[in-house]
Structure 1
Amino acid sequence: MNEFYVGSEIGQLRKVMLHRPELSLKRLTPSNCESLLFDDVLRIEQAGKEHDEFQKVLTENGTEVYLLTNMLAETLRIPEAKAWVLDRQVNKHRYGNALAKEVRAYLESMDEMSLAKHLTGGLTVAELDSSCKSMTLGMMGQTDFIIDPIPNHLFTRDTSCWIYGGVSVNPMAKPARKRETVHLRAIYKFHPMFKDADFQTYFGDEDRNFDHSTIEGGDVLVIGRGTVLIGMSERTTPQGVEQLTRALFKTGQAKKVIALQLPKARSCMHLDTVFTHMDIDCFTYYPDIMKGDTACWELTPGADEEIVFNRVKDGFTKAIARALDVPELRMVPTGGDIFEAEREQWNDANNVLAIRPGVVVTYERNVNTVRNMEEAGIKVLTIPGEDLGRGRGGARCMSCPMQRDDI
């Protein structure tokens, strides 16, 4: 197996990238959390402890854990990489000429770890402590952000996703998350671990406006055997799916993409908030959204690098069963009565991370769904999520697999 290769959702998880929440969560307040795409303000120390428990479960089960802040700092030690990142985050159009020079000089003066923490956690006017004659600066208060925090880096799944022998560095849908992609592009381009590694880059690694072609990794499930399942959600568009599919087919990394139409709703932000893979034939799902009449297409390679689009008539579960070469799927619903199921889905009961076939990680608070999974023969490893869960993302959202076995 290549050093960086993800052949499934459920094969042994060998390498994963996580982001331990720190400075960016300290900057989260009741007045700004909505614009930063959070529903609530998290307790920083508690969220950090819960994230440490998540890391511990993974390492105890044979997974190497890499932390995004460390990898970004290691990337920024390379002068070319540091200049590349700052070129894309500090410019006269964002700040005006005078302030841009001041911000650039201040960031260049930092050591690499401090710079990584401020690029992900934000920089205030007070921290910059500038006397620069700038109208932009003159109209800002001391607690305003020169660089906005990116608390959603916590959800490493979305910004980039490894699919078979390559990675998609995703154009994000929301302005609050677009700078995340710069950091991941830099890591995959310059970090010593990736610089000379053998992998494809499918999509998103360009300095351009991708317009309506957005895609986020929470909607992308590498179900295995050459097939990729993608949800078209609030954040992932049909245009984005088409662009990624073309690259997958052109590089020969996939032979089929199954695309599902999802509701554009906060409760179904990504496919993996309502549907994830637990064992070869077994998925957890939220019945209120993943219904039999969910619109579904099968995409396959056509002539002259075109895509053949076929509307699936017998339902998405049959399409997935065909791709996996199993008679039918075992579907494990969110647990409890109608009220408990809605509450547990909101707390990411369906957002589980498989670390090998039939073994998943999820929040301990979702007791009814955990019971359903165990009754279906799934081994469930639970982690605390009283604060992490308030970020509206579970174990799958918070992890970017970089090496995982086929099925």
Structure 2
Amino acid sequence: MSKGLNVHSEIGKLKKVVLHRPGRDLVNVKAEEFEDVWIHDCFYLDVAQKEHDAFADLLRSEGVEVLYMEKLVAEALDACPSARAEFTDTFMAESGIVNPMLEQAVREKLDAISDSHQFVLEAMGGYRYRDLELPRVSTTLSMMDNEDAKPDDLVLKPLPSSYFSRDPLASVGKGVLLHHMYWKQRDREVPFYEAIFKYHPDYAGTPIWYDHKKPWHIEGGDVLNINAHTLAIGISQRTEAAAIEELAKNLFWGSGNSEIDT
């Protein structure tokens, strides 16, 4: 596997691709929760995985190197002693969990997982009340806010749209855009990719042309890498003009590593 990025166009022969294989994150959602987690339909996991594997095999048969996001994140977390703790802090900060007892319970559940690959899958898959070790409502004041919660209610929402792996980021030249996604639920996917470019031995130090912590939204579907010097970006509901302006500043004047001039 070659190290680093060197993507001068999205047009032409595909050499390497990052996928996410559907897992528990895709099915740990009930119909009435679709809007909360930004998904539109039920899936049969075995069928989805079978179709995904056929797609991945087809890519390999054409000479494409297939990488899996969840494996890259696990390798990144294993590569640096502080990586997992730092990632967990970021992940929990963006989880949307405001109750400190629930936040602590989710942390403890994740911290108990020794295998980094399983840790990533669990973080993406989400948790319900029944999955966690929680104090009785009567024993803690903070848990009184959740006294009406049912065992099947979500605490940590899953990330069922993660298989759309082109949305959270875009590769441009030797660097990458980490997008500030329009939907808050989908923006939670970006720290997984951030960990890859921060800690992974093959990708650490990759220039970040756009930081997803910026206040303006931008998404991968509006970004087209045309050639080594030209990038096309559309303004839409999910991509703001201010984000494009910020990106242009970074590409044109922010780094000598950028070849983009149009």
TM surpasses 0.5: yes
Tell me, what secondary structure is at the counterpart of 1:232? Answer: coil
The yes-or-no answer on 1:67 pairing with 2:68 is: yes
Counterpart residue identity of residue 129, structure 1: E
Partner of 1:190: 199
Shift of residue 63 of structure 1?
Answer: 1.2
Task: Report the Cα distance in structure 1 between the residues aligned to 2:75 and 2:150, rounded to whole angstroms.
Answer: 33
Shift of residue 219 of structure 1?
Answer: 1.0
Please tell me the root mean square deviation across aligned C-alpha atoms, in Å.
2.2
TM-score (norm 1): 0.58
Shift of residue 113 of structure 1?
Answer: 2.3
Task: Report the Cα distance in structure 2 between the residues aligned to 1:43 and 1:230, rounded to whole angstroms.
Answer: 35
Task: Report the Cα distance in structure 2 between the residues aligned to 1:36 and 1:136, rounded to whole angstroms.
Answer: 22
CA radius of gyration, larger in: 1
Change (3 A) 1:233 1:75: same
Superposed CA deviations along residues 9-34 of structure 1, whole A, max 9, x for unmatched, are 12332221100111111113321223
Partner of 2:30: 29
Counterpart residue identity of residue 186, structure 1: A
Task: Report the Cα distance in structure 2 between the residues aligned to 1:81 and 1:223, rounded to whole angstroms.
Answer: 34
Structure 1 residue corresponding to 2:126, chosen from 122, 133, 150: 122
Task: Report the Cα distance in structure 2 between the residues aligned to 1:35 and 1:93, rounded to whole angstroms.
Answer: 11
Partner of 1:227: 230
Task: Report the Cα distance in structure 1 between the residues aligned to 2:236 and 2:21, rounded to whole angstroms.
Answer: 26
Counterpart residue identity of residue 201, structure 1: I
Change (3 A) 1:164 1:93: closer
**1:240-279 superposed matches below 5 A:** 240-250=243-253, 251=255, 252-256=258-262
The yes-or-no answer on 1:113 pairing with 2:103 is: no
Could you say which structure has the higher helix fraction? 2
**1:8-407 superposed matches below 5 A:** 8-77=9-78, 78-90=80-92, 94-111=97-114, 112-131=116-135, 133=140, 134-195=143-204, 199-204=206-211, 208=213, 210-211=214-215, 213-250=216-253, 251=255, 252-256=258-262
Change (3 A) 1:173 1:129: same
Tell me, what secondary structure is at the counterpart of 1:171? Answer: coil
Kindly report structure 1 stretches of 4+ aligned residues shifted beyond 4 Å: none
Tell me, what secondary structure is at the counterpart of 2:234? Answer: strand
Task: Report the Cα distance in structure 2 between the residues aligned to 1:81 and 1:2, rounded to whole angstroms.
Answer: 20
Task: Report the Cα distance in structure 1 between the residues aligned to 2:144 and 2:119, rounded to whole angstroms.
Answer: 25
- Paired residues in the alignment total 250
- Would the aligned equivalents of 1:2 and 1:165 in 2 still touch at CA under 8 Å? no
Could you say which structure has the higher strand fraction? 1
